[in-house]
Amino acid sequence: MRILLVEDSVALADQLVPLLKEHGYAVDWLADGRDAVVRVHDDPFDLVVLDLGLPGMDGLQVLKQWRQEGLSIPVLILTARDSWSERIEGLRQGADDYLTKPFHPDELLLRIQALLRRSHGNANDERLSAGMLKLDESRQTVWHGEEEIALTGAEFRMLRYFMHNPGRLLSKGQLASHLYDNESDRDSNVLEVHVNRLRRKLGKAVIETRRGQGYVYTGQLP
Amino acid sequence: MGRRLAISLFASLLVAGLLISQAALWWLEQEQRGRLVEQLRADAAGVLAALEPGSDGALTLRNERLHPAYRRPYSGRYFIVDTPQARWRSRSLWDAPLAPPVTPGVASGLLEGPAEQLLLGYKEQYQVRGQPVIVSVAQDYSPVRQAYQRARAAMLVFWPLILALLALVQQWLLRRGLSPLRRARAEIEQLRQGKRSALTGNVVRELQPLVAEINRLQQHTEQQLQRSRHAMGDLGHALKTPLAVLKNRCNQDLLLKDPDLHHLMNDQVSQMEGQVRRALSRARVAAGATAANRFCPEEDLPLVIMTLERAHDRQLTFEMSGLNGETLPFEREDMLELFGNLLDNAFKWADSRIALRFELDEAQCVVVVEDDGPGIPAARRDTVLQRGERLDERQQGYGLGLAIAHDLAVAYQGTLALDRSEMGGLAVRVSLPLPS
């Protein structure tokens, strides 16, 4: 899952970027509203965390422009403007959720999880379920019935993206662009390695390979 | 005031008009009488001229020299001539008695004449050949008198009628002249109630500067409000981002290294956060200012509910009752803040159900927000409102929302009371007086 963070406070961004990375998100950070308007078209982000009081262009203006351009990416507004009329204005302009500063980091993570699930049309359970598996995002583990299977950070990231898109054909390029930010080293071999590790842990059938096209998550376990 | 003035003006015009008209008629009648007396004097001289000494030295009356009216019965002109030897009465008197005036000159009152005539009498004494001759003449005065009486009566009737008519015309003119003012007044009232944002500039020329000035004032107030709100928002932003950084850092690093310091820092930062929030929400209140945006619960509250459903990530049964599309005369932003905070609490604590009830009457708007959560014990309800005390550490800022709602209710001269709900949880009852 790839997140675009638009936040002009360097101190806060310095905290949020590691926090989000720690929880398995690929994060790109921008501080200027004008950059954000353009940047969102360059990479396939899954979610935007948007501050409102931005230099260059106000967050609400940025959001308005995105929505006018027909961009339907989920947007979580993270702002110090906490009056109710501002919250409602944010939602009117097309925000999907609104979190006010100061906030608890866990709260932000929960909201991001919920928003991602909603945007993929998933029911709002405690765990993300697809096929025969249930993903526990706080513990970064996966459950198969009563059995909890531990995952490495990279495996968790990949499985989460698969589970958000069950049954869909995902090319390597797609996977890479959603799992890594621009600073990461994108090597298609690394992707294959992680797919193979997941198969070793969960069974061969859980992810199908379409030769020359990519992968499909089936969620089927032996 | 205006009515009383109009009535007293009407009354004094009526009395003065009546007095003047009656006095004028009286004076005219006196004039008329004076002329009649002159004529009587001439008549007396005429009658005297008709006396002729006869061959025997006695006086005789030569009828043919008299005015013909003295010969026609009850003609209205009469005379009596008294000499020591004889008395002549005009033929016009026929057989009716007539008492001549007692003293020479004009009779003081009117004399009773024949055929119910009232006569103006005049008596003159002459000496003819050494003999005293007394000539009394009289003339019917009743037609004159009747004419004046009619004129007086007509004045009594017509003057008030004319006055009333004039008053009506004046009223109509005034009304027509003041109607732009009345329209402007109605519009200013609408402005105050937030039903319109400016006065229409399309008014009579005399009022245009006033209307333009009021519009400028309104704009100025609006801008002032916007400016101070933005300034507050900026201040909030400036304070809260550092607070968020401090708090996160505190949670991340300090928790393991120094739990005591972490606890202290966390507590202090939370307090600062609460203070900032409450101070900002107080400063934002626009109660009493012109309400350009009025609050329409049925339009605005669904958005609040939607926001809350997303924020709390739970689906609760929400019922709203007691409204029929009314717009309430309160500032929209303030009411969003009030209801946002109350419903936010309800969403935090409700098990499955929230009810929002409006009770509107002429004097006030009562809102009751109820949930089926755990509620607040009676002993702690007061402290919650006073200090925004947090009741449960797990859920952030429980009491703060209630305290902010309380501040808002007070700013609108209303009250906020906490009670136990029949649904099992907390019932918050807010009464806001409606501006008259």
Q: How many domains does chain B have?
A: 2
Residue where one domain finishes, among candidates B146, B162, B185: B146
The two structure tokens encoding residue B187: 């519009």
- Note the pLDDT of residue A3: 94
* Pairing of the two strands A141-144 and A147-150: antiparallel
- Residues in chain A with CB shorter than 8 Å from the CB of B280 are 82-83
Are residues A43 and A151 both part of a single domain? no
Tell me if chain A has a CB within 8 Å of the CB of B240: yes
> Mean pLDDT of all residues in chain A?
88
The enclosing H or E element of B302 equals: helix B297-312
Provide the token pair at B157. 């009737």
**Which residue, A186, A154, A192, A150, is CA-closest to A1?**
A154
Please check whether residue B222 lies inside any domain of the structure.
no
Q: How far apart are CA B381 and CA B432, in angstroms?
A: 20
Contacts of B113 (CB under 8 A, 6+ apart): B78, B96, B98, B119, B138, B140
Pairing of strands A2-6, A26-30: parallel
* Closest-approach residue (CA) in chain B for A103: B244
CB contact (8 A) between residue B245 and residue A124: no
Q: Please count the residue pairs, one from chain A and one from chain B, whose beta carbons lie less than 8 angstroms apart.
A: 97
| Nearest residue in B to A52, CA atom | B237
Residue A10 amino acid letter: V
**B163 lies in some domain:** no
Q: Do A195 and A115 fall within a single domain?
A: no
Under 8 Å CB-to-CB from A168, ≥6 apart: which residues?
A216, A217
Residue B397, CA distances (Å) to A102, B384, B400 in order: 12, 11, 5
Question: Which residues in chain A have their CB less than 8 angstroms from residue B340's CB?
Answer: 84, 87
Exposed/middle/buried for B419, CB within 10 Å: 0-12, 13-18, 19+? middle
From B146, B163, B195, the end of a domain falls on B146
Q: Tell me: do A14 and A111 sit in the same domain.
A: yes
pLDDT, averaged in runs of 10, over chain B (436 residues): 80 92 93 92 90 80 86 89 87 85 85 86 88 90 92 92 91 88 86 75 83 89 80 77 83 81 85 81 66 79 86 83 84 88 89 91 90 84 65 50 86 89 90 83
Residue found under tokens 């009394």: B136
Higher-confidence residue: A192 or A124? A192
A79-129 pLDDT, tens digit each: 887 788 888 888 888 898 888 888 888 889 988 988 888 887 766 667 888
Across the beta sheet with A169-170, what order do the strands follow?
A169-170, A214-217, A207-210
Residues of B in contact with A84 (CB under 8 A): 304, 307, 333, 336-337, 339-341
Please provide the size of chain B in residues.
436
Instruction: Find the residue in B nearest to A77 (Cα).
Output: B311
Q: Kindly report the CATH number assigned to the domain that includes residue A209.
A: 1.10.10.10
Distances (CA, A) of B294 to B190, B192, B198, B402, B413: 12, 11, 15, 22, 17
Instruction: Say whether both A72 and A142 belong to one domain.
Output: no
In a domain, B198, yes or no: no
- Chain A CB contacts of B303 below 8 Å: 88, 91-92
- Nearest residue to B22 via CA among B159, B163, B118, B140: B159
Is there a single domain that holds both residue A114 and residue A141? no
CB A117 within 8 A of CB A110: no
Q: Is B416 part of any domain? A: yes
Kindly state whether A109 is in contact with chain B, defined as any CB-CB distance less than 8 angstroms.
Answer: no
> What is the CATH number for A81?
3.40.50.2300
Last residue within a domain, chosen from A84, A119, A154: A119
Contacts of A127 (CB under 8 A, 6+ apart): A134, A135, A136, A137, A143
Running DSSP on this structure, what letter comes out for residue B424?
Answer: S
In a domain, A145, yes or no: yes
Residue B300: phi and psi, rounded to 5, are -85, -35
As for the ipTM of the complex, it is 0.72
A113 with A189, same domain: the answer is: no
* Domain annotation covers residue A222: no
| pLDDT given for residue B153 in this prediction | 93
Using the Cβ of A9 and the Cβ atoms of chain B, whether some distance falls under 8 Å is answered with: yes
Residue B399 in tokens: 């009491």
- Residue B306 sits in a domain whose CATH number is 3.30.565.10
- Output the CA–CA distances (angstroms, integers) from residue A66 to A54, A59, A71, A81, A168, in the order listed: 15, 11, 5, 21, 26
Q: What is the pLDDT of residues B270-290, one digit of tens each?
A: 888 888 887 777 777 765 555
Cβ distance of B304 and A88 shorter than 8 Å: yes
> Which of A19, A82, A105 minimises the CB distance to B236?
A82
Between CA B177 and CA B200 the distance in angstroms is: 18
Reported as half-sphere exposure (CB side, CA atoms, 13 A), residue A207 has a value of 27
Same domain, yes or no, for A97 and A144? no
Residue A25 lies in a domain: yes
Q: Cβ contact (<8 Å) for B337 and A110?
A: no
Does residue A25 have a pLDDT over 60?
Answer: yes
Structure tokens given for B236: 């909030």
Check A114 against B251: CB less than 8 A apart.
no
Per-residue pLDDT, averaged over A149-158, amounts to 90
pLDDT at B393: 41
Residue of B248, B311, B337 lying closest to A83 (CB–CB): B337
Among residues A91, A119, A147, the one where a domain terminates is A119
User: Could you say which of A53, A88, A119 is where a domain stops?
Assistant: A119
Are the Cβ atoms of B237 and A124 closer than 8 angstroms?
no
Q: Name the residue range of residue A171's domain.
A: 128-217
Cβ <8 Å between B284 and A80: no
Q: Tokens 């010969």, residue? A: B71
CB A28, CB A4: distance < 8 Å: yes
B332 touches chain A (CB under 8 A): yes
Strand bridging mode B353-360 / A214-217: unpaired
> How many CB atoms sit inside 10 A of residue B343's CB?
25
- Cβ-in-10-Å burial (0-12, 13-18, 19+) of B231 comes to exposed
Instruction: Give residue B355's domain range.
Output: 293-436
Q: Is A10 on the interface with B (CB under 8 A)?
A: no
- Is residue A65 located within the same domain as residue A164? no
pLDDT of residue B57: 73
Number of structural domains found in chain A? 2
Which residues in chain A are closer than 8 Å to B237, comparing Cβ atoms? Answer: 53, 79-81
| SS3 label, residue A97 | strand
**Residue B113 located in a structural domain:** yes
pLDDT at A58 over 70: yes
Q: Between the CA atoms of B32, B37, B40 and B41, what dihedral angle is there, to the nearest 10 degrees? A: -140
- Report yes or no on A206 lying in a domain: yes
Tens digit of pLDDT for each residue in B76-100? Answer: 899 999 888 888 888 888 888 888 8
User: Does the beta carbon of B234 lie under 8 angstroms from any beta carbon of chain A?
Assistant: yes
